[in-house]
Amino acid sequence: MDQTVKEQKQALRKQILAQRDALDPRWRAEVSCTFADWARQVVPEPGVIVAGYWPMRSEVDVRPLMAAVRDYGARVALPAILSRTEMIFREFVPGAPLVDMGFKTLGPDENAPAVDPVVLLVPLVGFDARGHRLGYGAGFYDRAIDVLRGKGISPRLIGIAFDCQEVEQVPNEPHDVPLPEILTESGLRTFPLSG
pLDDT at 193: 64
Burial 108-119 (b: 16+ CB within 10 A, else e): beeebeebebbb
- State the residue range of the domain holding 51: 5-186
d(CA 195, CA 192): 9
Q: Is residue 63 part of a domain?
A: yes
Judged on CB neighbours under 10 Å (0-12, 13-18, 19+), 166 is middle
Q: Would you say 189 and 166 are in contact if contact means Cβ atoms under 8 Å apart?
A: no
- Distance separating alpha carbons of residues 135 and 164, to the nearest angstrom: 15
Q: H/E element holding 78?
A: strand 75-81
Domain-embedded: residue 192: no
pLDDT of residue 83: 86
Q: How many CA atoms lie within 13 A of 194 on its CB side?
A: 1
Q: Rounded distance, CA 104 to CA 184, Å? A: 23
Q: Please report whether residue 94 resides in a domain.
A: yes
Task: Say how far apart CA 79 and CA 107 lie, in whole Å.
Answer: 6
Instruction: Work out how many domains the chain is built from and give that number.
Output: 1
Residue 36 DSSP code: G
Domain containing residue 171: CATH number: 3.40.50.10420
Q: Is residue 191 part of a domain?
A: no
Residue 110 domain-assigned (yes or no): yes
- How far from the centroid of its chain's Cα atoms is residue 46's Cα? 21
Query: 57 lies in a domain?
Result: yes
Q: What's the pLDDT at 2? A: 62
**193 within a domain of the structure (yes/no):** no
Q: Is there a domain that residue 73 lies in? A: yes
pLDDT tens string, the chain, 195 residues long: the values are 467 988 999 999 999 999 999 999 999 999 999 999 999 999 888 999 999 999 989 999 999 999 999 999 999 999 998 888 889 999 999 888 888 887 777 888 899 999 999 999 999 999 999 999 999 888 899 999 999 999 999 999 999 999 999 999 999 888 888 999 999 999 999 987 654
Q: Which of 144, 78, 143 is nearest to 114 (CA)?
A: 78
